[in-house]
Structure 1
Amino acid sequence: MSDPAVTAVPAMVRRLLIGRTLSLLGTAMIPTALILAIIEATGSGTAVGVVLASELIPQLLLLPVGGVIADRVRPQRLAFATDVVRGLAQLAIGVELLIGSAQLLHLSILSAIAGAAIALGTPTMSPLVISTVPERDRLRVNGQLGVARGLALVVGPGIVGALIVTVGAGWLFVAIALVFFAGGSMLGGLRTAARPPRSKEATFFRDLAEGWSEVRKRRWFWTNLLGHGVSNLTAGIFMTLGPLIAIRVLGGEISWVIIYQCGMVGMIAGAFVAPRLSLARPLIATSLGGAVFALPLAAFAIPGPVWLNAAAYFVAMFGLGILNTLWQTVMQQQFPPQTLARADSYDALLSFAARPLGLALAAPVAAMTSEAGVLIGAAVLVGAFNMGLLALPDVRRMRFRASPDKEDALA
């Protein structure tokens, strides 16, 4: 007769994986759905920019707030609430589109609400993992979540395209809402421990300061955050100039589709492989994973044939898949559980801010200089900065902490 305590953990992990996969899928569907729906409703490119900015700005402003809240409450409760809010926002957009009353102001407000929910929900991922998954299994589960994220980025836009052609934009957003509701419902079976009682002196601003203090005293962490920011900045540059070069020089839209999909396959493969690697020093691997993003930037600066650019982007995203998986696992080991969400929020904040900056700067700077010059400069920046992290003793010496099972076996 099986022990219920033994079988309960895999069941909770499955619910976590299914729930977060659905949430990631809904997240991946929204940008394409919004762009197509707004163009269909207004025909205005400016309107697309306004609505997307309305979603992004609350994310940048509220991510640290989300980190503080996620360190105060049970993570599944906050994740559930944010999934429901995001589902309701998409449902409201769908209803407006179905009855023909969609207005730019309404779409912007609803997108801002969804962006706020993203900011509050994003820092719950790592606390959910450490409160649900035994330490010995966290690297594997982080890899599975990385695979889910990559698959969502590949499958999500395809589902959007199929639904908008068959049922229309309104029902598309209703479907996205149902995806979020289903993802949130999977969190209902998770059982996590209550947060430790907080002192009476604890306030929001003290918690915010404490989180920053935890980040600042770990040099390996904040220097890697800067590396992630540089990687996201250069990724924004690549995502602006890459499609333009592919369409103009490499054979049209189909060449960019091939290159982009090769990158997505690479990210999925990297997340799949990461838990299977025997790595003594994970931060060396994450630094190398960030540095290889120089390859597609340099390849597009030439530009080489489609196969070369596709191979370079595959390798870059393969490195990103490994980086994300190992990085999340290191964070979950090195930060106290009561401050993990705040640390994660700073990581997400820098990433969320840097990529739009790259998207905004790439074209104007290229117009003043040259596309090749911008791409080569970005390649040198991301390669040199991430390789430079290897000069830090904290980075070179960091090891995975042995799980309790392994420690018992060694005793």
Structure 2
Amino acid sequence: MGCTAAPDRNSAVSGLSVVVAGGGTAGHIEPALAVADALRALDPSIRVTALGTSKGLDSTLIPARGYPLELIPPVPMPRKPNKDLLRLPGRVRDAYRQTRQVLESVDADVVIGFGGYVSLPAYLAASWPLRKKKRIPVVVHEANAKGGLANKVGARRAARVLAAVADSGIHAKGLKDAEIIGIPVRSSITSLDRAALRAEARKHFGLPADGPVLLVFGGSQGARSLNNATSGAAQAFIDAGISVLHAHGPKNTLELPDGVADGKGAKYVAVPYLNRMDLAYSAADAVVCRSGAMTVAEVSAVGLPATYVPLPIGNGEQELNAIPVVSAGGGAIVKDADLSAQYLIDNVIPLMHDAGRLSGMGRAAADAGHRDAATSVARIVMEVARK
């Protein structure tokens, strides 16, 4: 067990102790931290400790937001029978023991999990204590349209089970579905005034002050299909007077076709990673992106029309994530195999020049979101802890 910052043991008597478990990917970490922020806003005496692993973005994102991070062994859930499945019991046992030590050391009053590598040991350590020690109540939140195994296990003995959308397959014992509450999104996104930040945002990225801007990103690591299609249409966007802000991923490089040059007041700005998503959203008029649960939640919360390109692996949850927003009129879905430079030229360029359609889609996207989800989840966590 390791930690990047030790919790304040002297404050143990001054407020509730909440442990959030959502490490691994930004899609699990961000909702956990959004709820942590909401808890502190509701009651500054609450002590929040985050569980994470040495893998993934935990050690980068969590301490930067000011929360103690306790590291435990990751427990990835194999998707099919293999050697990893045989190693699973031992991994669960080791992670369970270390997680239970963390829960006892911070005197946890409640655990809230968001799925991912750290949630399963958190649920087990809280709900199945050894030697007649205190059982700690659990709250489960499922962000994806199709729930994962860790949350299904946690839901069996959870005090409350929450979900972003209906029919995720995650529900408390005796109920047919979870409580539908949306995805917790940080307040810096839900309260974002894109119009007020537009000039600053465009200056920050070196984009023209006027004219339409398309934001393209494929998650924290980028996406090759999005990179290839968008760069292939680069000159067409510039010739149409449309600027592009393209985050291609820190491990990827982006090669534009020979001869591509800025023109007609438009620029193609490529960056490895977007550290200021608030400014990226404020600079943009529309988005082309993947449809991870957190991405859909944020893009909807800020009211941006989107072309969603679901990741073509897994159990199809990315497409399911986008369907509610698209059904409401806030975006479109294109399969990864169908995405091409020509698709963007035929579909996205006309959209970028249709101000009325962009505005209507933006309103529909915002209406489909749940801006107050983080505060709602935080209130439930406090209620469960105090019982």
Q: TM-score, normalised on structure 2?
A: 0.28
TM-score, normalised via structure 1 length: 0.27
